[in-house]
């Protein structure tokens, strides 16, 4: 895949479009945005660009949404202004965009004042959405400087969701309909820049798809457009056997099957958002992952199938896991106990991740990462009270989930010995194996996570 730069000012006639998504580090500042613009303009098939907020902006907005005192609000707002102004100051014609960004900052100020009086998930989503709105406005100006026909598009016109603020679910049928009507015709006329991560519910209020949801946005729009490919540009050149920042010896995977990549994403590989691949899989759209800092370094292509898939493919790590153990003698030989437990969890909007059972107890994990709202709110007093009326409840926090991703793991001999034989020094809290032939998962104390990953990677991949 060649990403040599050619700054053609004229757009080619529209064939099957490629959707390009750039993460926060790829639009962090003026230089990063220009590198991303080079990538976009080097490939005439790229007609739709989906952006995250500039690196650091979302965290500042989330903090404002939590309700801060006046002094802290001023500091956070100044930090946001500083990051965005540094980009504006280097534009050829900064005045028009400066006025627009100032209006956005004024709005952020008013919303953060409101949050200091009373917080809400709806207010959080409204506030946090400004990160993507600002980065896309700035990127449009950078493309415009290259004399390329470009248009800013508000994704909320097409990304219709439910009202589960912080982790909203898109209505894919309505999305598809709106994309064909409102977005597709614009791609004929110009390069279109839009926002990842944000949407709009039935009453017109802004929603967000959860942290990292920009990847999901790109894949959903690609599905609706029947795109040729989704290119995800991040700060690492592809998907590795584990996080290369943690293990320098990690190796890049050049081609990986959808199922393997989906398992990696689900179990914490930060290169992809867990739900990203679902729309791509539904339509068989390949996903390319590369580095915007070094596009010539190549990357990973996620596609339907690969030749000779290995037994062990990669290791993924997910921190901040909570283990809930439920003990009850009435479980013994009884029917319906699990149904009752899951009924309670469903009423409290809790999604169970992993589960193991014995005669008189159930252990299950809750994933407390992913939402823009506070993770601590998952285990509410009302939920614990309702569970306690049914059984004895134990809660362990700050655990880490290690997932070994592979192929036909449940049919292979000796996997247990190869994995756990080198983990004698560590306390393994829970093991899930056999439900999927693509993964083997277990929990360890959070403080041991890095060392477990390093030990396993050395044994299985190096």
- Residues of the binding site: 21-24, 58, 132, 234-235, 240, 245, 270-271
Question: Distance between CA 186 and CA 189 in Å, rounded?
Answer: 5
Binding site for ATP, residues? 21-24, 234-235, 240, 245, 270-271
Dihedral class, residue 315 (left if φ above 0, else alpha if ψ from -120 to 50, else beta) = beta
Task: Point out the annotated binding site for substrate.
Answer: 58, 132
Query: How far apart are the C-alpha atoms of 257 and 235, rounded to whole Å?
Result: 22
Burial class (CB within 10 angstroms; exposed 0-12, middle 13-18, buried 19+) of 336: exposed
Residue 366's closest CA among 339, 340, 399, 391? 399
Distance in angstroms (rounded) separating the CA atoms of residues 396 and 321: 9
**What is the C-alpha separation between 350 and 147, in angstroms, rounded?**
49
C-alpha atoms less than 13 angstroms from C-alpha of 246 in its C-beta half-sphere: 21
Q: In whole angstroms, give the CA distance from residue 332 to residue 69.
A: 53
Radius of gyration in angstroms for the set of CA atoms belonging to the chain, rounded to a whole number: 23
Both tokens of 168, joined, read 């909203």
Helix 95-117 × helix 121-128 angle, to 10° = 160
**Residue/partner pairs of 388-393 with CB below 8 Å, 24 or more apart:** 390/326, 390/328, 390/340, 390/341, 390/344, 391/326, 391/327, 391/328, 391/330, 391/331, 391/341, 392/326, 392/327, 392/328, 393/324, 393/325, 393/326
**What pairs with residue 46 in β-bridges?**
18
Give the span between the Cα atoms of 348 and 208, in whole angstroms: 20
Question: Hey, is 148 helix, strand or coil?
Answer: coil
């Amino acid at each position: 895949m060649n990403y040599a730069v050619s700054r053609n000012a004229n757009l080619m006639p529209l064939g099957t479009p490629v959707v390009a998504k750039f993460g926060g580090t790829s639009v962090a500042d003026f230089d990063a945005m220009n590198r991303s613009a080079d990538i976009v303009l080097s490939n005439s098939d790229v007609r739709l660009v989906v952006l995250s907020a500039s690196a650091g902006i979302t965290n500042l907005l989330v903090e404002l949404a939590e309700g801060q005192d006046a002094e802290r609000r001023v500091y956070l707002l100044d930090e946001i202004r500083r990051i965005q102004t540094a980009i504006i100051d280097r534009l050829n014609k900064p005045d028009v965009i400066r006025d627009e960004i100032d209006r956005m900052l004024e709005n952020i100020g008013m919303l953060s004042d409101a949050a200091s009086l009373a917080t809400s998930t709806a207010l959080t989503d409204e506030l946090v959405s400004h990160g993507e709105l600002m980065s896309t406005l700035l990127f449009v100006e950078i493309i415009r400087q290259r004399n390329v026909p470009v248009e800013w598009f508000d994704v909320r016109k097409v990304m219709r969701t439910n009202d589960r603020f912080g982790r909203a679910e898109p209505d894919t049928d309505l999305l598809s309909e709106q994309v064909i009507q409102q977005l597709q015709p614009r791609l004929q006329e110009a390069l279109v820049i839009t926002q990842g991560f944000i949407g709009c519910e039935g009453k017109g209020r802004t929603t967000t798809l959860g942290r990292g949801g920009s990847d999901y946005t790109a894949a959903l729009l690609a599905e609706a457009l029947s795109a040729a490919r989704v290119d995800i540009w991040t700060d690492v050149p592809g998907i590795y056997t584990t996080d290369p920042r943690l293990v320098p010896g990690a190796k890049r995977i050049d081609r990986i099957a959808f199922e393997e990549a989906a398992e990696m994403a689900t179990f914490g590989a930060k290169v992809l958002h867990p739900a990203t691949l679902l729309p791509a899989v539904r339509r068989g759209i390949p996903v390319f992952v590369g580095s915007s800092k070094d596009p010539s370094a190549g990357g990973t292509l996620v596609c339907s199938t690969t030749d000779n898939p290995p037994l062990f493919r990669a290791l993924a790590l997910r921190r901040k896991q909570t283990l809930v153990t439920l003990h009850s003698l009435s479980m013994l030989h009884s029917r319906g106990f699990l149904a009752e437990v899951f009924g309670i969890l469903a009423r409290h909007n809790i999604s169970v991740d992993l589960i193991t059972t014995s005669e008189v107890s159930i252990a299950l994990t809750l994933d407390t990462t992913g939402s823009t709202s506070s993770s601590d709110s998952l285990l509410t007093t009302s939920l614990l009270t309702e569970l306690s009326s049914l059984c004895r409840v134990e809660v362990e926090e700050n655990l880490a989930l290690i997932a070994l991703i592979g192929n036909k793991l449940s049919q292979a001999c000796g996997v247990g010995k190869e994995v756990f034989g080198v983990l004698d020094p560590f306390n393994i809290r829970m093991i899930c194996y056999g439900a999927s032939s693509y993964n083997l998962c277990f929990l360890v104390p959070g403080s041991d996570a890095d060392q477990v990953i390093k030990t396993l990677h050395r044994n299985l991949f190096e």
